[in-house]
Amino acid sequence: MKIGVLALQGAFREHIVSLEALGVSPVAVRLPEQMTDCVGLVIPGGESTAIGKLMETYGFYDAVAQQHGAGMAVWGTCAGAILIAHEVLDALPEQRSLDLMDISVRRNAYGRQVESFEADLDIDGLDGGDFRGVFIRAPWIESVGEGVEVLARHDGHIVAARQDDLLATTFHPELTGDPRMHRYFVEAVVGR
């Protein structure tokens, strides 16, 4: 099972380590060709504007849309969730998203970097109790379309959602050492 991790900027190494711990051999994707035959792609957290610029430079916008159309599942965490969203609120004027998932995401919704926090989350589809959510200058999901399942909320705001082969989490599961969210992506979303 070939799963790619977009490795342009942000926390891609931690996602690679988390996937390796599950016995998956992830591929660090730096060029669109490296996604060939990928059944899943993780877009990591980091800075959505920086990742977006690099994606533009390397031709990822068309390539990801095409591969997703051909069946590749996509999971966006934090900045990655911004990048897969249909609509980005508080975006920079030139900021562009992939527009894959029917969600509206608000950038930096909790405020500045100092407003980063951790919280226990009750996530649908994950057994074994709460999941520690690490929120780093995080967005939240302001609204979702009809085909989107809300998986978790924090303080009333949506922080995890799924639409068929698309998964969005606004926190950083790769920083906690808890394998359940990665397993959910691999087994329930990619392996659906």
- Which positions are catalytic? 78, 172, 174
* Least distance in angstroms from the C-beta of 36 to ligand GLN: 26
Q: Which of residues 19-48 bind ligand GLN (CB under 6 A)?
A: 45-48
By CB under 6 A, residue 137 contacts ligand GLN: yes
How many CB atoms within 10 Å of residue 137?
A: 18
Q: Which is nearer to ligand GLN, 82 or 166 (CB)?
A: 82
Distance CA 52, CA 89 (A): 15
- Reduced to 3 states (helix: H, G, I; strand: E, B; else coil), residue 120 is strand
Q: Which is nearer to ligand GLN, 40 or 133 (CB)?
A: 133
By CB under 6 A, residue 108 contacts ligand GLN: yes
Return the structure tokens found at 143: 């609204």
- The dihedral over CA atoms of 129, 131, 132, 137, expressed in degrees to the nearest 10, equals -150
What's the N-to-C CA distance of the chain in angstroms? Answer: 13
By CB under 6 A, residue 169 contacts ligand GLN: no
Distance CA 169, CA 130 (A): 15
By CB under 6 A, residue 104 contacts ligand GLN: no
SS3 content of the chain, % helix, strand, coil (to 5): 30, 30, 40
Q: Degrees (nearest 5) of the Cα angle 72, 138, 96? A: 55
Q: Which is nearer to ligand GLN, 81 or 129 (CB)?
A: 81
In 3D space, the residue among 55, 83, 59 whose CA is nearest the CA of residue 167 turns out to be 83
Per-position x/- string for 64-93, each x denoting binding to ligand GLN as judged by CB under 6 A, each - no binding: --------------xx--x-----------
By CB under 6 A, residue 181 contacts ligand GLN: no
* Least distance in angstroms from the C-beta of 70 to ligand GLN: 27
Q: Which is nearer to ligand GLN, 123 or 138 (CB)?
A: 138
Q: Which residues bind ligand GLN (CB under 6 A)?
A: 45-48, 78-79, 82, 107-108, 136-138
